[in-house]
Amino acid sequence: MCGIIGIVGKSEVASALYDALTVLQHRGQDAAGIATLDGNRLRLHKGSGLVRDVFDQTSMLALRGSVGIGHCRYPTAGSEGSAEAQPLYVNSPYGIALAHNGNLINTEALRREVFEDDRRHINTDSDSEVLLNVLAHELQIQDRRQLTPDHIFKAVAGTHARCVGGYAIVSMLLDYGVLAFRDPHGIRPLVLGERDTATGKEYAVASESVALDILGFRLLRDVAPGEAVLMTLDGRLHTRQCAEPAKHAPCIFEYVYLARPDSMIEDVSVYKARLRMGEKLGEKILREMPDHDIDSVIPIPDTSRTVAGPLAQILGVPVREGFVKNRYIGRTFIMPGQSERVKSVRRKLNPVGLEFRNKNVLLVDDSIVRGTTSKQIILMAREAGAKKVYLASAAPPVRYPNIYGIDMPVTAELVAHGRTVEEVERMLGADRLIYQDLDDLVWAVRDGNEKLADFDTSCFSGEYVTGVEPTYLADLEFARSDDAKSQRRQAG
Ligand code: AMP
């Protein structure tokens, strides 16, 4: 997953882009970058690390211009590090910079097509570079002398027709403005906002509405699945439905874990969706353990805090802060190898002993992926003196890989893959493990917007809305395994 932002403003935008990236930082901490349009020059600065580490005063001052795009990256395909930091740039046609959140699943076929038919060279393993070149080619074949919004939208339609997967794109065309679009299923999120200034309207698009909030942009709406929005340098907004109608299936994992609670996605408050997840999970626990002996509900910080409140209320027990998180350490998932991951859970969370001593506790997490976090935490709770340790997950068992831009481990590393709930319970060492049902999770989100008929729930159900070749999944297994990742790291 990644965070993207694009602004067509009336005055300098670099610091607004920087601020937006800092509130999208949870979507990717591997690399960050900003590109701006400074007359007919494109200014670009990017690098590995957190937003605050990538930019300094000198690089910010060089990012001149009132139009720009930004990206923070969590690697989902290709290798980690600065070589594939975004925005990416191609000089022809016009000069295009592009930032991408998501993942294409026909990258290899496209890579061949782009080379053999479009005669373009792709220099990295990144699917984003492939997508950028597809868009460039589709723009190239339009009428060059007089590029109109119509030509640009035709190029997006061509890109939609060729690129399969989950993607939200923000790009910048020199001399033209910012072009943003979403995949035909609307899997990855993208919102549109506007702001009034003394000299006219400014427009922005972002992965999450929280980025618009902090910049003082009004959230207008989500960019529709398969829609493109073009914000031109003259301050106008053009929009067009470019892709053939397809099943709208926003990623449900955004609501479970990825997005910030203060964001609105598809007109659904992420915060309220999480409250409803807690409600449904509480009801299920009460059904399964009507005479429960739970003394308190302890959220595993931070995401599951929102879930814990209503859950505890339904069970009639208090919520307690049993773990204190060291906020100066990154997400444990980010650690490369398994042994590092285990160590960093301990570094990140420390138990408050008195909340565990002689108590039966129900720990609640937003999701269980590898199970590393839960296993360690259950052990920590026992060491701190808990009598019984129950575990509840606000998401159903994660059993299948995500192919639309969330970095999920390979199937073999997913603790619930090929295992029953009882088997996972034993693996994790819990006295009882209760997962949210998928129907309840869907209800929790849809209750915020009845119009949402479908979701991408593939990591729970194994059903992929775009369809997927079995060979793609097999290749992915190899590319994402810890072994493959460490081989890539050694190779430099
Ligand atoms: P684990 O079961 O040890 O793999 O970790 C699960 C925890 O990681 C959950 O508590 C989530 O908060 C978090 N998590 C879930 N999915 C992801 C992801 N794709 N990237 C980073 N963290 C994640």
> Is 467 contained in some domain?
no
Say what the pLDDT of residue 427 is: 98
Residue nearest to atom 16 of ligand 1 (CA): 369
DSSP secondary structure string for all residues of 207-219: SSHHHHHHHTPEE
Nearest to 96 by CA among 133, 141, 59, 148: 133
Structural domain for 431, as ranges: 271-325+344-452
Q: How many angstroms separate the CA atoms of 372 and 415, rounded?
A: 9
Q: Say yes or no: 355 and 225 in one domain.
A: no
- Per DSSP, helices labelled H in 322-455 are 338-348, 372-383, 421-428, 438-446
Closest ligand 1 atom to Cα of 372? 3
Rounded mean pLDDT, 449-458: 98
- Report residue 72: phi and psi, to 5°: -125, 140
The pair of three-digit structure tokens given for residue 61, joined into one six-digit string: 């001052």
Are 303 and 388 part of one and the same domain? yes
pLDDT for the residue numbered 76: 60
Alpha carbon distance 209, 404 (integer Å): 20
365 is in an annotated binding site: yes
Are 380 and 351 in contact, with CB atoms under 8 Å apart? yes
pLDDT value at position 342?
A: 60
Atom 23 of ligand 1, nearest CA residue: 333
Q: From CA 348, how far away is CA 372, in angstroms rounded?
A: 13
For residue 179, give the nearest of 115, 63, 87 by alpha carbon. Answer: 87
Q: What is the tens place of the pLDDT at every residue in 431-444?
A: 999 999 999 999 99
- Looking at the structure of the chain, the number of domains it has is 2
| Amino acid symbol at 316 | G
Output the domain CATH number for residue 282: 3.40.50.2020
CA-CA distance, 318 to 437, in Å (whole number)? 23
Asked whether residue 352 falls in the same domain as residue 237, the answer is: no
The atom number, within ligand 1, closest to the CA of 365 reads 10
Output the CA angle 459-463-465, nearest 5 degrees.
105
Residue 163 lies in a domain: yes
Quote the tokens at residue 307. 């879930």
In a domain, 254, yes or no: no
Q: Output the six-digit token pair for 375.
A: 């296993």
Q: Please, are residues 54 and 32 in contact by the beta-carbon 8 Å criterion?
A: yes
Pocket test for ligand 1, best of 1, 344, 367, 456 (most atoms within 8 A of CB): 367
SS3 306: helix
286 and 237 belong to one structural domain: no
Q: Which residues contact 419 (CB under 8 A, 6 or more apart)?
A: 427
Under 8 Å between Cβ of 301 and 307: no
Residue 2 among the catalytic residues: yes
Q: Interior CA angle at 416 toward 410 and 422, to 5°? A: 160
Q: Which residues line ligand 1 (CB under 6 A)?
A: 257, 300, 303, 331, 333, 365-374, 406-408
Q: What is the mean pLDDT of residues 188-193?
A: 98
Indicate whether 176 belongs to any domain.
Answer: yes
Percent of the chain having pLDDT more than 70?
93
Q: Could you tell me if 229 and 313 lie in one domain?
A: no
DSSP string, 335-372: -SSHHHHHHHHHHHEEE-GGGTTT-EEEEEES--SSSH
Quote the ligand 1 centre to 478 CA distance (angstroms). Answer: 20
Same-domain status, 213 and 349: no
pLDDT over 80 (residue 487): no
Statement: residue 316 has pLDDT above 60: yes
pLDDT band (50, 70, 90) for residue 327: confident
Contact in structure between 364 and 394 (CB atoms under 8 Å): yes
d(CA 380, CA 356): 10
Is 332 inside a domain boundary? no
Q: pLDDT digit string (tens) for 64-122? A: 999 999 999 986 655 555 678 999 999 999 999 999 999 999 999 999 999 999 999 99
2, 72, 163, 251: which one is catalytic? 2
- 285 pLDDT band, cuts 50/70/90, is very high
Q: Does 303 carry a binding-site annotation?
A: yes
Domain boundary among 246, 263, 292: 246
- Which residue minimizes the CA distance to atom 11 of ligand 1? 367
Q: Do both 295 and 373 map to the same domain?
A: yes
pLDDT at 399 over 70: yes
Atom of ligand 1 nearest to the CA of 370: 4
| Chain center to CA of 132 | 20
* SS3 state at 454: coil
Could you identify the residue written with the tokens 């890539």? 488
Q: How far apart are CA 107 and CA 281, in angstroms?
A: 38
Handedness of CA 261, 267, 272, 273 (dihedral sign): negative
Residue 163's φ and ψ, nearest 5 degrees, are: -95, 120
Q: At what angle do helices 149-162 and 127-140 cross, to 10 degrees?
A: 140
pTM score, two decimals? Answer: 0.95
Q: Which amino acid is at 245?
A: P
Give the other-Cβ count within 10 Å of 174's Cβ: 19
Categorize the per-residue pLDDT at 330 as very low, low, confident or very high, splitting at 50, 70 and 90: low
143 neighbors 201 (Cβ within 8 angstroms): no
Same-domain status, 235 and 131: yes
Provide, rounded to the nearest whole percent, the portion of the chain with pLDDT above 90: 85
How many C-alpha atoms does 81 have within 13 Å on its Cβ side? 12
State whether 353 and 437 are in the same domain.
yes
Question: Is a pLDDT exceeding 50 seen at residue 334?
Answer: no
What mean pLDDT comes out for the span 357-373?
97
- Residue 222 assigned to a binding site: no
In this structure, the answer to whether residues 195 and 281 fall within a common structural domain is: no
| Secondary structure, 3-state, 269-293 | EHHHHHHHHHHHHHHHHHHHCCCCC
Strands of 429-479, DSSP E: 432-435
Q: The tokens of 117 are what?
A: 């038919």
Co-location of 284 and 196 in the same domain: no
CB atoms within 10 A of CB 181: 31
